[in-house]
């Protein structure tokens, strides 16, 4: 069967392409019934064909890596070395703009001498949309959109990234990252959007801190329940954070709401945990 991808003519040995499985509204895995319903309403797509899924992922990976390599030839990407290696950190699928879309996350780093605790790969996001049952086209590209915070040259695990719906017909890449230092652990939650030729961060907030492995006192251990909820004032979802636990020996119980405004999410009032970033 012939597959068209961004102007490149490709031939593969499967009947149809789509869905890799982990990305629908708010990052939730769709139920079998939901998958079956969508399969019936999307011409030419078999949601349950593992061979089709694998073939699509391979085609998208090949094209995305080719584009990132070409970009890196003319951009140093913040690294001293130009001898870089690139790999796919994750591929995610959803519905946006009435079409099936695929977000491909590619990681880049120097091939040698890049294994320290502060060695962070650069992550690029390439967005593809299905233009027809067998045709996919590139609709957005955000090179060097963000850095991995995991250090040691590692990209985020694929399970720590997902597409979430932030509006009825808009998705964003959610990334959970962790930072460890001197027995302290901090977890962060970020959202990224890609608009044509630019990727940008639209949310960054802290969702967990503990010092269980440290000798320091007072004791800290708190976590966050994060929810995306429809807004009465905007088509963009509001983000509710409910933080509970112990912060420097004192009980923590705080609610913070982030609202979309002028291209990014901002807290309504103050976010006490994030004041240090201002």
Rounded to an integer, what distance in angstroms lies between the CA atom of residue 140 and that of residue 194? 6
Domain range for 227 is 2-277
For residue 101, the model assigns a pLDDT of 94
Distances (CA, A) of 205 to 163, 195, 237: 17, 22, 16
* Cβ atoms within 10 Å of 78's Cβ, excluding its own: 10
Least confident of 122-126, 140-144, 153-157, 193-197: 153-157
pTM for the full predicted model: 0.82
The larger pLDDT score, comparing residue 132 to residue 65, is at 65
Total domain count, the chain = 1
User: Count of CB atoms within 10 A of residue 231's CB?
Assistant: 15
Please provide the average confidence, as pLDDT, over all residues in the chain. 82
Confidence of residue 47 (pLDDT cuts 50, 70, 90): low
Q: pLDDT value at position 30? A: 44
DSSP string covering 149-175:
SS-TTPPPPGGGEEEEEEETTEEEEEE
pLDDT of residue 57: 93
Two tokens at 208? 């967990």
Q: Across 22-36, 105-119, 220-234, which has the greatest mean pLDDT?
A: 220-234
**Predicted confidence band at 15 (pLDDT cuts at 50, 70, 90)?**
very low
Mean pLDDT of 245-249: 94
Does pLDDT of 190 surpass 70?
A: yes
Segment 12-29 mean pLDDT: 29
Parallel, antiparallel, or unpaired for β 135-147 and 2-5?
A: parallel
> Mind listing the pLDDT tens digit for each residue in 66-117?
999 999 998 888 888 888 999 999 999 999 988 999 999 999 998 888 878 7
Q: How far apart are the two ends of the chain, measured CA to CA in Å?
A: 54
């Amino acid at each position: 069967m012939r597959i068209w991808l961004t102007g490149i003519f490709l031939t593969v040995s499967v009947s149809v392409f789509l869905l890799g499985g982990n990305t629908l509204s708010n990052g939730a895995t769709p139920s079998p019934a939901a998958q079956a319903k969508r399969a019936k309403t999307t011409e030419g797509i078999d949601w349950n064909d593992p061979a089709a899924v694998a073939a699509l992922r391979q085609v998208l990976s090949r094209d995305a890596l080719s584009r990132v390599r070409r970009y890196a030839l003319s951009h140093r990407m913040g690294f001293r070395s130009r001898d870089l290696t690139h790999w796919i950190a994750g591929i995610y699928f959803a519905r946006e703009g009435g079409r099936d879309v695929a977000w491909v996350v590619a990681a880049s780093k120097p091939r040698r001498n890049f294994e320290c605790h502060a060695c962070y790969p650069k992550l690029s996001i390439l967005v593809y949309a299905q233009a027809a049952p067998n045709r996919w086209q590139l609709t957005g590209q955000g090179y060097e959109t963000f850095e991995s915070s995991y250090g040691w040259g590692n990209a985020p695990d694929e399970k720590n990234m997902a597409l979430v719906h932030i509006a009825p017909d808009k998705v964003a890449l959610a990334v959970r990252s962790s930072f460890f230092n001197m027995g302290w652990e901090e977890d962060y939650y970020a959202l990224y959007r890609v608009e044509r030729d630019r990727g940008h961060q639209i949310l960054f907030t802290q969702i967990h801190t503990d010092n269980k492995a440290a000798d320091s006192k007072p004791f800290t251990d708190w976590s966050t329940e994060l929810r995306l909820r429809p807004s009465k004032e905007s088509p963009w979802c509001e983000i509710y954070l409910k933080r509970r636990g112990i912060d420097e020996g004192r009980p923590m119980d705080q609610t913070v709401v982030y609202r979309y405004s002028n291209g990014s999410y901002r807290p309504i009032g103050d976010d006490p945990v994030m004041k240090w970033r201002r």
